[in-house]
């Protein structure tokens, strides 16, 4: 079954919403409002889903340029998992090494080795590559 967008309905949505490249904070606020309005609806037509995707792409492009998310270091990832699980350094003793080794890793004085990444991956039940 081939589902196609109804051009008239989509054209009316475009005319009402008027999506365009986001060049400043005012445009960004408008885009977020339009996106939010569509997201708050229970069900969307195919035309509304298409418009939602368009707004999403415009917002994503603007945010990646003006609000980039810095990449997390392996230490950042470890600290995050520890915080989420409410763990202390002592909880990792035996998982990645002695008390001194754990302290050095957690405080960024020592890089996480491949063996430690594997152990942390098993401990936190995640892919070890997030710690490398």
H or E element at residue 116? helix 114-124
Confidence band for 70, pLDDT divided at 50, 70 and 90 = confident
Closest CA to 77 of 123, 8, 13, 12: 123
Burial class (CB in 10 A: 0-12, 13-18, 19+), 34: buried
Confidence band for 71, pLDDT divided at 50, 70 and 90 = confident
Per-residue pLDDT, averaged over 8-34, amounts to: 96
User: What confidence score (pLDDT) does residue 32 get?
Assistant: 97
- Is residue 99 within 8 Å of 91, Cβ to Cβ? no
Is pLDDT at 1 greater than 70 in this prediction?
A: no
Claim: this prediction has a pTM higher than 0.75: no
User: What confidence score (pLDDT) does residue 2 get?
Assistant: 61
Burial class (CB in 10 A: 0-12, 13-18, 19+), 96: buried
């Amino acid at each position: 079954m081939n589902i196609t967008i109804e051009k008239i309905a989509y054209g009316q949505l475009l005319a009402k919403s008027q999506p365009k490249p986001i060049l400043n904070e005012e445009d960004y606020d408008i885009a977020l409002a339009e996106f939010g309005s569509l997201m708050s609806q229970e069900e969307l037509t195919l035309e509304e889903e298409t418009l939602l995707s368009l707004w999403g792409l415009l917002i994503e492009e603007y945010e990646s340029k003006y609000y980039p998310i810095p990449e997390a270091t392996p230490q950042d990832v470890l600290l995050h998992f520890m915080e989420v699980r409410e763990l202390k350094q002592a909880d990792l003793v035996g998982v990645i090494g002695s008390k001194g080794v754990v302290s050095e890793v957690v405080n960024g004085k020592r890089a996480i080795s491949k063996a430690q990444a594997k152990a942390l991956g098993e401990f936190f039940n995640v892919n070890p590559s997030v710690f490398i």
